[in-house]
A and B are shown apart, each in its own frame.
Chain A
Amino acid sequence: GAGVSQSPRYKVAKRGQDVALRCDPISGHVSLFWYQQALGQGPEFLTYFQNEAQLDKSGLPSDRFFAERPEGSVSTLKIQRTQQEDSAVYLCASSLERGANTGELFFGEGSRLTVL
């Protein structure tokens, strides 16, 4: 497809389970971002990749959160031992440029995680 694709769109996990969320960015996009959006809130930055390099992970809330982009295209956000406070929509965004200098990010529809 032409846009950013995320899967699964919906995920229900029991507390303590591990989850993996996938992002397929637009082909050729260098920059890739993950954001967390709690209900009724704006997106909060988690981490940023430029190609396969993770240049900023300052927004990851704990060491239970891990992201990778091994070949510089598809990215996976993994959450270990999920907690109820991890319930949110996880957004992936990509940009053609290094550093997304123009600020124009292309967002996927998100993966909604519910932790019971």
Chain B
Amino acid sequence: GNSVTQMEGPVTLSEEAFLTINCTYTATGYPSLFWYVQYPGEGLQLLLKATKADDKGSNKGFEATYRKETTSFHLEKGSVQVSDSAVYFCALKIKAAGNKLTFGGGTRVLVKP
């Protein structure tokens, strides 16, 4: 089946620190990969995506590269801010398997000033 595994949180960082959240996947087909973010009191929203191997998704200073050889899509940001405190979800979608997203368990990130 299809599944997503991401590092457990919480991850606590100081402002301006480097953030990495690991995400690996198992898929029966060729997936598109996504990172969604949930800020406190808000719904999930798309942060970035990549649809084929070696693509790099980027948004708001975050980046993730689709690595087919390691089945990974790690999220990185070079200098985090307090406003980046949120729960981050890695997800995949396989068109041939329907239209649903398969999510990882989420990683809570807390950035302290």
Interface residue ranges, A against B (CB under 8 Å): 3-4, 31, 33, 40-45, 48, 55-56, 58-59, 91, 93, 99-110
Tally inter-chain residue pairs, CB-CB below 8 A. 67
Interface residues on B, range: 20 to 34
Q: Interface code B93-107, partner A: CB below 8 Å = 1, 0 otherwise?
A: 101001111111110
Q: Give a binary string over B23-36; 1 marks a CB under 8 Å from any A CB, 0 the rest.
A: 00000000010100
Q: How far is the CA of A108 from the CA of B95 in the complex (A)?
A: 23
Q: Contact at B43–A48, with CB atoms within 8 Å?
A: no
- The answer, among B32, B44, B95, B100, for a CB contact under 8 Å with A107, is B44
CB proximity to A under 8 Å, residues B43-59? 43-46, 49
Interface of A is mostly: loop
B101 to chain A, nearest CB (A): 7
B103 in contact with A43 (CB, 8 Å): yes
B100 touches A4 (CB 8 A): no
Contact A103 B44 (CB under 8 A): no
B41:A59 contact, CB within 8 angstroms? no
Interface flag for B69 (CB, 8 Å): no
